[in-house]
Structures are given as C-alpha cells and as structure tokens.
Structure 1
C-alpha cells in the first residue's frame, strides 16, 4: 500500500540520535553512525522526529510501505514502561489518530494493563497523561477561542492591552499537523516571519478570522517539506483559501514559490492571494494568483 512515512537523507544525517528519542514508536535506530528506519510497521508518518532533527535530514514522503501496525508498536513499547506507553498514546491523540488510539487502548485492555488508563479514555483534561508525556508542549496542537473578535477591530484585554487574533497553536509551519482539525475550511495565512513585526496592525488587518502558519524561506531548512505540508493542508486538511504575506525583500519570494508549487501539486484548486509589505509595514501590492 502507499502511505506517508519518513525519509532520511544520509548525507545530512550526523548520527546524533535525537530523532530516535523523539520517536516513541521505535521506528528509528542509529546504525553505523546514521539514523535508519528499522521497519515501516512502526512508522506512523506523523513526523514527530522531524522537529527533533537539528540538521534537517528528515522529511516525509509517500511511497509503498507496509501498513502501520499499532499492535506491533505496543509490543515494543509495553516493556519500556507506562510512561513510554502514555507518551505514545498522547502522541496519537494530539494528531487526531483516533483509530490507532482505540487499537492501542484495546491492546492494553485485552492484557489487563493500566486499567485506570483505559477507564479515562485518554481525556484531554486527564492530568496524568500530560505529566507522563515527553512530547514537546510547543508542538501540541490546540485551538484558541477568541469570542468577540471582529475584523479590523482589535478588542482590549482586561489589562488594557490589545487582544491577539491568534486562533491556534503552534504556528511554525514545520510544527503544524496538516491533518489538524482547525484547518478544515480555514482561511490559511502563510506569513513570512518578519511581517508581524513590520506591520503594527498585523492581527486586526491580516490575522483576524484566519489560521496562521509562519515561515522564513531564507533561514528555515528542509523547504521541500513545506511544499508537502501545504499540499496536504489543501487536500487532506481541507483549507478553503491560502493567503501569503511577505516582505518586499527578494528572499521572501521563496514563500510564494512554495505556495504555488503546493497548489500545483494538490488535487484541489483553492484561491491564492499574495500580499507584499514594505519594510515599513505598508502594503505595496496584493494580487490573486
């Protein structure tokens, strides 16, 4: 079958092993100084290891691979202890993989392991889960309610400051899950890192009512992953529109190319808008592509 699994660039890989510790499922090992995928069965394709790699050697690719096997993963994890099992299940829950989560809980129930855990059903408010996981909190997807926020008007907080228009977290494109629920029918704003600092009314003018992804085409590594992620956000995540907000400097055009390539690769055709800011934060140009 064809599915998404990780791919390791051996030339870039320095064998540090950070990705191994970031993969709860045990799909990765360091062999002869390089990280390798020991079995497709254990790779869930969710990319937790990507954020752990300091040299950008890991990407996601679609290819023929053995189907992911949650039972096989649990066989590997149970001997490592309850904390590791909890981290794995929390990882599945954070990425919305409810079927794999169900299979994992069923595995524990059949073997009468951690019955207290099975009864909770991994509630998102369960404190034990949050305490046991070693998943980076900065990569955990969450929606942020913004009652009363109106386009072009920035409400005041109780302390007198302006209220943020941010509706979800995280925001860095490498950390966003293209299958996150908050992407469904969303107007996605893909903003160059500098734009929010150049434009004083960024939140009310550009971010209000939108889901945010930020990136820098000059400084960020592994740019092909951005194309793949945006393509999945269109086809799988189901975003409704894509707005790219960049600075007038030449390197920012790389973000436009990434967005255009993603739309070309996607099966769905969605509206794409490009807005260019001057270094002083003024809108120079806005166009539909």
Structure 2
C-alpha cells in the first residue's frame, strides 16, 4: 500500500441518487443499502470524475494509505459489470406484447388496465425486446404508480413500461442497459415519471445520460410526483448539453 488520492464518501450526506455510479468509468462505486460505496480501492483511480454529478457534496478526494490502482483488474471488473445476464428460463423474463388483449369480467366500477408489455422491470427486459421498436417508452420509478391516481390512464396508456429504482439497484447497470436499449431500438419518445425525493432524480439523470451516450435524438419529457400524489411538474425537459470537442 502507498499514500495516494482516493475517493471518500460521507454517508451522512449521501442521498443514494446514483449519479456518481454513472459518472465513474471504472465502475468503482455502487449503491448499497441506499448509499454510495467504494467496491474496491484498486478500482478507484483517484481522479474524481464521479464527484461532478453529486448534488449533496458527499464525495471528496482524500490522500490516505490505499491499495494501488490496478488498471487491468479495473478493466476486467468493468467488462464483468457490463456483461448481459443470461436468460434464466423463468416466465418473468419472457418478452410479451399484449397490446391487442381483451378485457373480460370487468365490472362497471373497475378501470381498464392499460399495460401492454411484460416484463416491466428494467433488470428483466431484454434490450432487443420486439415491443420496444417504435415505442413511446415510460420510464417509471417503482413508487410512482402507488403515489398518484389514474396512473394507467394518464401515463401508461399508449406507452411501453419500464420500471426501476436507482437507489436500491445498480445504477451503472441501469445506465449501460438503457444505453444499449436506445442504441438498438427505434424509440419514439421517453417519458420519465419519478418522485420528488432527491434519490429518485437519479432515474432521470441516468435516462438522459443514456440517451446521449446512445447517439440518438429521442424526445424526452419528465413528470415529478409529490409524495402526497400531486403532480409537481410536467413537460418536456432538455437533455444535458453534449460536451464539445476541444
């Protein structure tokens, strides 16, 4: 070990938004139990690229005794993180498009469900699922559907649904998968529906970054829902400006 620059995370300040995970090219950070964690010291190059997107100032570079940065091990780790999971054969991973379904046994007081695809969890959706082509995509935070009324008719109708929670899951995996999904499919538009809590902003951040990384110009809009179920904001949102070559 030697004294070198390495990332330091103040867990009291960390809100688990996942921005740092997306910004870390070495995949040295992960969200664990709602907080950013350094996976291994040898994966951190100490340059601080992960700090720029942190909204709370939880990340700093410190000098301390740490394992030396290992470029070869970091590259192997990055490839492993990006590896696509093999289908397990479980019905939960089988792509199904049931846009032309018939509703039977529906009472007069019930609302017609608008969901037309399965699965909906980002971890389980195949990046080349047939129903993604020429789709208007709804990226919804896991909590959103439970927090506002008429979610099906207002947000799901006419869209293919993807749900995710970057605070509880691997934000880097989400970023890589969405980037590939946008690259290989003709997505007509993307609407993110998220909660007002800061960590939920990570879903919007990851989605916008993935659209840019894909090289596609996909119309993007965003809806923010309050924790009491009211809609705080809604409309088209510009993507983060692309970096200009120097």
Category of TM-score, reference length = shorter chain: 0.5 to 0.7
- Residue equivalent to 2:82: 60
Do the aligned residues in 2 keep the contact of 1:145 with 1:167 (CA within 8 Å)? Answer: yes
- Residue equivalent to 2:164: 215
- Residue equivalent to 1:52: none
**Larger Rg: 1 or 2?**
1
5 Å-filtered alignment, 1:26-105, equals 59-60=81-82
Select the residue among 193, 217, 232 that pairs with 1:245. Answer: 193
5 Å-filtered alignment, 1:203-282, equals 203-220=152-169, 222-282=170-230
Cα distance in 2 for residues equivalent to 1:268 and 1:275: 21
1:158 aligns with 2:105: yes
Select the residue among 104, 127, 131 that pairs with 1:178. Answer: 127
Runs of 4+ in 1 over 3 A off after TM superposition: none
TM-score normalized with structure 2 length: 0.59
Do the aligned residues in 1 keep the contact of 2:166 with 2:174 (CA within 8 Å)? Answer: no
Cα distance in 1 for residues equivalent to 2:80 and 2:183: 22
Do the aligned residues in 2 keep the contact of 1:157 with 1:163 (CA within 8 Å)? Answer: no
Do the aligned residues in 2 keep the contact of 1:167 with 1:211 (CA within 8 Å)? Answer: yes
SS at match of 1:179: coil
Higher strand share: 2
Distance 1:58 1:223, change over 3 A: farther
Distance 1:278 1:198, change over 3 A: same
Query: What is the aligned-residue RMSD (CA, Å)?
Result: 2.7
Cα distance in 2 for residues equivalent to 1:257 and 1:193: 16
Unaligned runs of 5+ in 1: 1-7, 13-56, 63-87, 92-133, 149-155
Question: Cα offset for 1:229?
Answer: 1.5
SS at match of 1:239: coil
Cα distance in 1 for residues equivalent to 2:130 and 2:206: 23
Do the aligned residues in 2 keep the contact of 1:146 with 1:165 (CA within 8 Å)? Answer: no
TM-score normalized with structure 1 length: 0.51
- Residue equivalent to 1:195: 144
Higher helix share: 1
Question: Cα offset for 1:162?
Answer: 2.3
